[in-house]
Structure 1
Amino acid sequence: MLTLSLIGIGCGDPGQLTRAAITAINSADLVLIPRKGSAKSDLADLRRTICADVLTSDKTDIAEFDLPARDADEADYRKGVDDWHDAVAAAWSRTIADHLGHEGKVALLIWGDPSLYDSSLRIARRLDPLPDIEVVPGITSIQALCAAHALPLNDIGEPFLVTTGRRLREGGWPQGVDTVVVMLDGGTAFQALDPAGFYIYWGAYLGMSDQIIISGALAEAGPRIAAARQDARERHGWIMDSYILKRRA
């Protein structure tokens, strides 16, 4: 049988690894490291660093592969994602077959946690043959963002909503909540809101040495975040950020 372990590794700080994650990495026969292009080489480098730091088993091999890119020009968003998931599943299958065959334990180190705005669980269920799937939870970007700002996410007895930049931009502020967590924002969707009465808590490269955090009233902090975001993207060639918006009376 083939077992696939999806191991949450946190948001960039190797110290965020749990003991369960370290045990799972060491029990693997093969660790897969995706390469996302030179612009995101930091992400592959961190996975290599984690393996070098925690691997004590001499039976564990490491295999790197190029991760297919999603077609951003596909007009049908869901179809574009579906096609991309098929391509990624095929890349996983090829790499596993080339290095391990159809028996053994494979590990994938997942940024953050596999359950939150991550495609790995959906992709894993497209593999043929279908492996046993094991999940080791990790620190999410939401937890890392709240910790960076020393911020409690929910107000007392109140709900919050987690959404994407695209949904915020297209649908506006969601009804029934005063706290919204925004992830996967390819731009600055918060600029589509009337800033009056909103506070923002933003962070990029959370847990990494280049971490940036900015907070404040949206009217004042929003332009600073937009400028910092553009500058960081130009310097690194990529950016991974998220933010929390709170509406105050």
Structure 2
Amino acid sequence: MRKIHVIGIGAGDPDQLTLQAVRALRDTDVFFVLDKGEVTADLVRLRRDILRTHLPAGGYRVVQARDPERDRAATGAAYSPAVGQWRGARAGVYERLIAEELGDDATGAFLVWGDPALYDSTLGILQEVLARGSVAFTYDVVPGISSVSALAARHRTGLNRIARPVQITTGRRLAEGFPEGVDDVVVMLDAHRTFRRYADQDIDIYWGAYLGTPDELLASGPIAETAPRIERLRAEARERKGWIMDTYLLRRRPKG
């Protein structure tokens, strides 16, 4: 029976891997990597750097495949169908890779940024591949350090305050309004700088981009003062690299 490890590899720093993750790496024969093209070639390089850091040379193979294109312009009612089509296309790529590149008794692995349980599609897609019934395998999951954990650590702050909840959401959801009854909100997948909508409120922002990599950027402070700086840093970085991954925490200040 083929076996798959789904390994959380942290936000980019090879030192963020857990000992469990390193053991899973050393148990793997074939690593599957999806290539998003030249613009995000850094992401493939970072994965290879992690392998070189933790594994002896020559004991494994890396198989790359092109990631299917996704309609990122879809909004409203069209958003969920667009994501569903992309996930179906990606499931087809996974299915082919496992069937063609992994022997019947071999072990493969997908290296997942951050933690596989937090805003990542790998687990759902593997379940879809199994449901199709054309290729059989077992899989396990190794948790990783998410960008959320890395963000809090780099800013030396907690995610929640005493007896208060914290909510993790997306920029798309934040655009609909600040969550009810929550004063600490972590925002991921925000391509539209939604934090700007709250620049007139008593909120502090803790922002980070390329967390755990040599290109890491950090900014924090009252959102009215810090938002312009974040926008400038973000624009410069995107112009320089062609892509950006950022995460931030919004924290309402206590009243009175």
TM category (shorter chain) comes to over 0.9
Among 213, 223, 227, the alignment partner of 1:222 is: 227
Q: Distance in 1 between matches of 2:244 and 2:38?
A: 13
The aligned counterpart of 2:183 is 178
| Equivalent in the alignment of 1:100 | 102
Deviation of residue 112 (structure 1)? 0.3
1:104 is displaced (CA, Å) by: 2.2
Deviations 1:76-126, CA, capped at 9 Å, x for gaps? 111111111111111112122222244421101110010001111111111
Residues 26-61 of structure 1: CA distance to partner in whole angstroms, max 9, x if unpaired? 111211122111111111001111112222385522
- Give the AA of the match of 1:122: G
What is the distance in 2 between the residues matched to 1:247 and 1:132?
A: 44
- Within 5 Å, which residues of 2 pair with 1:1-249? 1-56=1-56, 58-75=58-75, 76-127=78-129, 128-169=134-175, 171-248=176-253, 249=255
Matches of 1:105 and 1:126 in 2, distance apart? 19
Go from structure 1 to structure 2 and tell me whether the alpha carbon gap of 1:47 and 1:161 turns closer, same or farther (over 3 Å shift).
same
The alpha-carbon deviation at position 130 of structure 1 amounts to: 4.6
Q: TM-score, normalised by structure 1?
A: 0.95
Q: CA shift at 1:74, angstroms?
A: 3.8
Instruction: Give the RMSD, CA atoms, in angstroms.
Output: 1.4
CA distance in 1 between counterparts of 2:93 and 2:57 reads: 25
Distance in structure 1 (CA, Å) of the matches to 2:29 and 2:37 = 25
User: C-alpha displacement at 1:136, in angstroms?
Assistant: 0.4
Give the letter aligned to residue 33 of structure 1.
V
> Is the contact made by 2:7 and 2:21 (CA closer than 8 Å) also made in structure 1?
yes
Report the secondary structure of 2:186's partner residue: strand
The TM-score with structure 2 as length reference comes to: 0.93
Does the CA contact (< 8 Å) of 2:99 and 2:135 recur in 1?
A: no
Identity %: 44
Q: Distance in 2 between the 1:99 and 1:156 partners?
A: 50
Question: 1:172–1:192: 8 Å Cα contact kept in structure 2?
Answer: no
2:197 and 2:104 mapped to 1: Cα distance?
Answer: 49
Deviation beyond 6 Å, 4+ runs, structure 1? none
Shift of 1:195: 2.7
Q: Distance in 2 between matches of 1:120 and 1:47?
A: 16
Unaligned runs of 5+ in 1: none
Counterpart residue type for residue 162 of structure 1: I
The one-letter code of the counterpart of 1:100 is: L
Alpha-carbon separation, structure 1, partners of 2:46 and 2:190: 23
Q: Which moved more, 1:208-217 or 1:66-75?
A: 66-75
Note the residue ranges of structure 2 that are not aligned, 5 or more in a row. none
Structure-2 change in CA distance of 1:204 and 1:194 (3 Å) = closer
Q: Distance in 1 between matches of 2:2 and 2:19?
A: 23
Please give the alpha-carbon distance, in whole angstroms, between the structure 1 residues aligned to 2:98 and 2:2.
10
